[in-house]
Structure 1
Amino acid sequence: MGVVCAFSLNLSGQVRKNNLNTGTPPRCEAKEDAAEEPLDRTDTARWSDALWERIDRAYQLQRYDEALRWLDSLGLILSPWSEPNALLKYFAWKGDVHYRLGQISHALKAFRAALGVQTRDPRWELFSAYVGLGTIYGQFNYDEKALWSFQHADSVLIARGNSNGRSFLFINMAEIYMREGKYGKALCACYDAQLCLKKRYDDLVALLHVNMSCIYAKLGRYDLLKAHSDFALKYTEARGNELLRQEVYVKLAGAWHDAGNEEQAYALLQAEKALGIGLPTGDVYKLLLKIMSTHLESEGNHRMAAFALDAYMRYDDSIKSSLAQVDFADAALTDELLLMRDWQRRQMEQLEQRQRDDRCHYRKVSLQLVALLSLMVGVWLTMYMVRSRRLQAVVNVQEAADRLAVVNASVEHQQEQIREQREAVFQQRVALEQSKQMLQLTGKKFRNDLGYVLNLQRALLPSQERMQRILGEAFALYLPRDVVSGDFYSCHEVGDVKVFAVFDCAGHGIPGALMSFIGTILMRKVIREAQEIEPAGILTRLHELMKQYLRDERGSGVGFYTMDASIAVWHAKERRLVLSSACRTAYLYTEGVMHAYRGVIMSVGSKLVEREYVNDEVDVPTSAMLYLSTDGYADQMDDENRKYGSVRFINLLTDVAAFPMQEQKARLFREFESYRAKTIQTDDVCVLGIRLGGEEV
């Protein structure tokens, strides 16, 4: 695991240095002759940042002794209560530096201390600690612990969402599985490493094919052994890394040695020797001695073979001695941790005992204070009760006298208040009588004025005789919501032409009545001045006069000085009916069918839109019923707040069209009152019915 493990530490250290937390100062180019600036130890944070900067510079220059000294200085300002991320970073770097100095036991302690830091952040320092432990355990054949370390390092990479470094973990795990004889798992680990590899990791590509060559040598697949061996040599020569080539040559020689091809193994050893870079270290050197011993024995050079075998045994003994040192360091660290835990337990027990003693002392003192306070309170209460009994009689007499005086004063005050209240009630009664008289006078005057307005409105409406003379058979259902109405109807006769109309002015009550006066006067003016009697022209002229005479100071022109209208012109000789409406609908019942003629959606006098009123001409060959109405009938609400509706109104007109005029009016009135029930009338109602033709439909 020599080059692979060293590469793993290099990569983890490189990634760690490039992904430090924001507390680490930015990395700058290291200079050999950089002058050491004195550190300001008064500011702990700045001192820590300066130490990390010098540690990083010494690490880049491979001055590991100097980096270790700065790390020891940094350890003086850290404590077990420091930030977990700072402790994790400190122990990971210290373990890495100890490992590079060959201080395996110290590196092992530092890496294990890094893993003992309680942090949930999967940082690169945690990954470096796991890799360092796996590397040390792998060198000393602690395969189970090495696998555990590499698996946890892999979990850190997965948690960070980074798969770039997983390849060398799988390669190290493959070597461990090979040592345990688990070639299937080793092959799976190699395949996982191959999935994670990228082109820039050519060293790992070479080592991956070397491991696969060793696996196939153990499995007896010599064709695959040769293929992967050629791949490994190809990538190694392309990289130009002599240390990597040395390890690849020796490991491939071991693979060909296991496959029984001593000639190929010896050729690779000769190629390794030709590199001239000295003996390899670690497991690679051990493998080289073993292969050389076997090869020399096969050539008959028993003396050199014995020498190589003796060197192999001595190196193996040194490995076992180092392994024993690691075991001793591990045991010492375990004992130290146990002693620390025992010391902490004793400290906690002593602290708990002190707390119990303090609580007992506090309770004892509290009881004594409570007893003393109770005694003092008892003495004071006794003295107070004796003195109170002596003074009670005097106090009672004085209180009785005071209460009597207060009662007398209260009675006098209440009598005064009663007199004032009687006077105030009398004044209020007089004021109420005056207000009542004023209200009665005002109400009487208002009723007289309203009656006068009603008489004026009735005078402006056509009389029953005039309607019978002009319209013939006709009825008018006229129901004001208040005393006076904003709806009105009119009928005129110009030569042989008869004009009848229904208007719905904006508002109801007195404002609506005033608008109806204006509408009646303007209608008569238009009829009198019109040269040609046709409904659209009448509506257009009314629209112009309304806008001319009525000024809208609010500026909206919507709904204040407007009115909806339906006008019909009946040419009796020609039996021709001309209709035009503004926001209303006229209904014509003929031959058992009700026809609706909708008008233009623009109220007379409106400033919102400008449209032209149009005429609808209808030839009436037989007798027919014409209905002109405002929206008051269809908009009436019932007890459940539902409108009567236009559809129901049309059906009602269809049902009553065949009856005589007065019967139609009576039925319309009864239906309206029945639907309204006890609710308030919603709007003014005006329905004008005219029979065209003189006969019943």
Structure 2
Amino acid sequence: MAIGMLLTGKGYPQSKINQIYQQLAAADELTVTDQDSAFNIACQKIGELKKNKSLPDTLLGYAYYIAGEAKRYGAGYEDAKLFHDSALRCYTKPMYPLGLGRVWHGKGNVYLLMGDLDSALFYYKKAIYVRTQANNLLDLSKSIVNAGIAFFKKSEYDSALFYYTESLRIRTQINDSVGIITSLTNIGNIYLYQNNYTDAEAYYSKAKSMIDTTSASRQLASILNNIGNIYFRQGRYPLALENFMQAIRWYDVFGDKASKARIYNNAALIHFETGNIGQAMEYHNRALELSLNINDRFGIADSYYYIGRIYHINNQFDEAKKNFAYSLNQKQALGDVSGSADVMQNLGVVYLDGYVFDSASYYFNKALTLYRDVENKFGQATCLNNMAELYLKNHQPQKALNHASQSLEIAKSYQGLSEMSVSYNLLSRVKEQLGDYRAALQLTKEEMKINDSILNKETASTILELESKYQLERKEQAIQLQQLQLAQRDLEFKNQEIEMAWQKRIRNLSLILVLLLSVLIFWLIRSLVYRKALNNRLDKQRHDILIKNEELAQLNEELQTQQHQIIIQNEVLVKQNLKIEEVNATFHESVRYAEYIQQAVLPPKQRLNAIIPDHFVLYLPKDIVGGDFYWVHQIKNKLFVAVGDCTGHGVPGGFLSMLGLAFLKEIVTMQQVYQSNIILGKLRNQIIDSLQQTNDLLEYVDGIDMSLLIIDKESQTLDYAGARGKILLASDGNVELLKGDRTSVGFNPRMKSFTNEVRPLIPDQVFYLFTDGFVDQYNEQDEKYGMQRFTDLCKCNHSKPMPVQKEHFFQTFTQWKGSFEQIDDATVLAFKL
């Protein structure tokens, strides 16, 4: 930190400024371990700094930042955002890059903990930008790795790996050993979730080799947990449980409740797989209690999922469904794709056990699609086995054979012994049903070999021994703590007795001395009072009168001086207010003019009515100028309709939207390109050229999410392409969602060509093009509106007249938002041919 730049006040002693900074730095250290003390110190300094205008604003910004961090660590996320916003205002007058980077990184952490991953990424990228400009490599690596964590939680593993690798490069460059260990562990986590256990264990082992395993370390605990996960998925349960127990002991030292809850769930899974259901339920309940205590939404969702599995194994199907439904709702809200697939698969198993085959097949297929989207081999293998079981029960042996064979091949690719055992069991039963008993016997032998390697008497004994050692160690620690507390109480009691005896002696001696002195003083005073009483009284009265007169004269003079200063200060304030009003008026005039330009670029109402008479447009920018745009154009028998969402909002988003509109018109009207995916490709090229984006981490932040629809009225077909955009088609009470490609119109290091979909038109079909501002809006209960609610809204209203629909959509958005701040621009364009 450049202290000279940060700590410079106008006419204020530098030593006092440095003292305040040191006090704030000490409070900053306390935010992790003692949030109440850190918050109280920060609030005290905020009060002092606001009173003294000669101190630098950057000090006040630092105090606001510390208060926000204390609230974040204490799970007071809304308060944390307010304090961070106050800090930002201090760091922008004048601009202070180090402070801005710190606060934007902190806001990203708040949204990450809240599960709002898109907002977290938005602020991390702002922090990355400003820290790159300031060449602050240590803090830059922290923002990059946290952005990777956000992508990891979104199950976008390629992007997460890119950010983790970049953070490792920077940390290696500056020789940050602690950061290198974290980056190696994060990369290992990617490979773990992709079931590449060889590479995952290699990265974990490399990170572990850099840690002193004899001393307490959060990083060592995290690595032990991850290695335990590898052993668990490979069916090596004793080694997995041993690593989990070691990790729990370290997290006990640090009081890390979130991490401890995750490991409790992991240990419970081992007991679940080995048939110790009671012990598994006990660990899951411990994990849930810890997660609820700290409001860890990811941990809460995981615990309800695992508890649902216990209810399922105990044939309590209704309770299992309730727990799965709650977990699925939370995981979908948090954007946890793999976790959502896990819950869907288990819901399918519940319906399978209840012989409700249609519902079971529905959930299995949805889960398998998600597993394939995120390349989760473990999930694919288990889901294919469950689908094979479904077909076997439904007397479709050939389909069962195909699915079990696919599962076996996938499980072999990552040495998943448990899944291989299930696959061999299914294949044996299929062969038996088909009458091939020799093949069935051979497959049963293969299953038994694997089961012997997973769980034999020695393995079960080892697991019970490890569990007993852990429970015995906890009891011994509790006994030692009780003995220490009793000894401390005895010592405090003895010290109190000694202190009380000593105080009693001092009190008795003091009373005797006071009594003797009082008698002596009484006689001395009595003799003096009688001699001088009258003279002293008169002299005192005369002296008091003179002093009072002088004080009154001085006070009158001070009041006149203060009155003159107040008059001067009022004149200065009046001039400053006039200047501020003038600047505000100029600023608002500029923004309004930008709004006027944007409205002029968007299609006018008369043109929309002429091209698509039966339509409505709901355009709700977050600020005066918005980053959303829509475009409608007709060339002969072809109708072009597009809706775009540019990065950011306000004036920056507005400029990017006008740029996108101009390029879109040029490609269609001048270049005469009439195929949707080719239009998006050319638009991306022109955006990259215009913004001069290159293969740089920071230069592909800007881009456009877009849905593009081309309707050929002559051939009665529609041609659709999307760049992270979607379109809803509604007709006869049914709603269908068309998804585009999962990449924006802008630079990306893994760019692919856009794809399109051509299909015939359906009479009286209603088309809904929209940006994500409506779907992502939160209400006063911190709930996201979500895609399902939006789909239902379109389904219920598509048969109504367009003006009625527009009013209903607007009222729905307004009532849902309530007093909550609008988080993004929102646009809906609907029409019927």
TM-score (norm 1): 0.44
Q: Which structure has the greater CA radius of gyration?
A: 1
Q: RCO (CA 8 Å, sep 6+): is it higher in 1 or 2?
A: 1
Q: Compare the two structures and name the one with the higher helix fraction.
A: 2
